[in-house]
Amino acid sequence: MRWKRVMQLLDVHCEGEIGKVAIGGVPKIPGASVAEQLAWLNSDPKGRELRHFLVLEPRGAPIGSVNLLLPPKHPQADAAFIILQPDQAHASSGSNSICVTTALLESGMIEMSEPETVVMLETAAGLVRATATCRDGHCESVSLTMVPSFVHRLDAVIDLPEWGEIRFDLAYGGIFYALVDVSQIGLRIEPGQARRLVEAGMVLRQAINRQFEVVHPEIPAISGVAYVMFRDVDPDGAVRTCTTMWPGRVDRSPCGTGNSANLAVLHARGNVRPGESFLSRSIIGSQFEVGLSGISEVAGRPAVIPTIRGRGFTFGLHQVALDAFDPLHAGFALTDVWGEALAELGEQQS
């Protein structure tokens, strides 16, 4: 075999959402900070090539993420990582933070202490403190103290031919979200409506990004609405969420950064106070415990410190390699899986 590149991936999912962790063979990523490394991955052709190597066929698929483990830059951090998805490299993710923590501890890359191990994760959005509850060599659950989350705009309105006026909130939870009450589009957050939810989410994301500009006031590498998260409330009071992700799928987990953004909105409206917590359920019924641990600020604007508790599970270990003679080395995608988003992918590759 003549392989130009070999990477080892630990397969992990968090409450159903796949977050593979690249634990071996990760190349050096240029940048003095993780935010600069994120910017390089999203702007340099070699960065896009690495992402496509891992997320496009024949080695990858649009379901789930691949987390690049990187040497930390911050003196308090135990590890750094960046999330690779089909659309771009992303700064932060709750479910992927849980996957990375589980991978680091259960693989032995960081020594596990029972009954509790604290791992400090460095992301492009800042430090995430992960506290793992451990027993018999297994991470039973992981509680994250997320980066400060804030509201960008409440009750924004967009007028679309499909639904008329749609009211939504713009908020930041590690990345930017448009938060939409699902009743406005006449759907419910349930498995049988996943296809229609992602179709609506893609339309809304594109339209909102055309009309509304969002940039983190302190981290310019984080900009634009990454996802549309639909939200509802279950009969028992739990928040029901459905984060829609490019090229057209739903997050299987309740979504950590999305719930962090929504927590900022709930606090701004006076619906949650410091010390309070609630359950958030995904479209498949998996759960996160979401809490408000404190109040902060970002560039002079009010912010909250969210906590997210969930579970990660390892389910495999494999290598991906690049054959020096493979004519499909750049990866490919087809409309049967990628749908209309394939055109946008083509623009990224050009």
**33 classed as catalytic:** no
Catalytic site residue from 65, 92, 93, 97: 93
Distance CA 182, CA 141 (A): 29
- SS3 labels along the chain: CCEEEEEEEEEEEECCEEEEEEEECCCCCCCCCHHHHHHHHHHCHHHHHHHHHHHCECCCCCCCEEEEEECCCCCCCCEEEEEECCCCEECCCHHHHHHHHHHHHHCCCCCCCCCEEEEEEEECCEEEEEEEEEECCEEEEEEEECCCEEEEEEEEEEEECCCEEEEEEEEECCCEEEEEEHHHHCCCCCHHHHHHHHHHHHHHHHHHHHHCCCECCCCCCCECEEEEEEEEECCCCCEEEEEEECCCEECCCCCHHHHHHHHHHHHHCCCCCCCCEEEEECCCCCEEEEEEEEEEEECCEEEEEEEEEECEEEEEEEEEEEECCCCCCCCECCHHHHCCHHHHHHHHHC
255 tagged catalytic: yes
Find the catalytic residue in 14, 255, 260, 286: 255
C-beta contacts of 291-297 below 8 A and 24+ residues apart: 292/263, 292/267, 293/145, 296/148, 297/148, 297/150
Residue 111 burial class via C-beta count within 10 angstroms: exposed 0-12, middle 13-18, buried 19 and up: exposed
> For residues 202 and 155, is the Cβ–Cβ distance under 8 A?
no
Omega of the bond leading into 58 within 30 degrees of 0 (cis): yes
Known catalytic residues are 93, 255
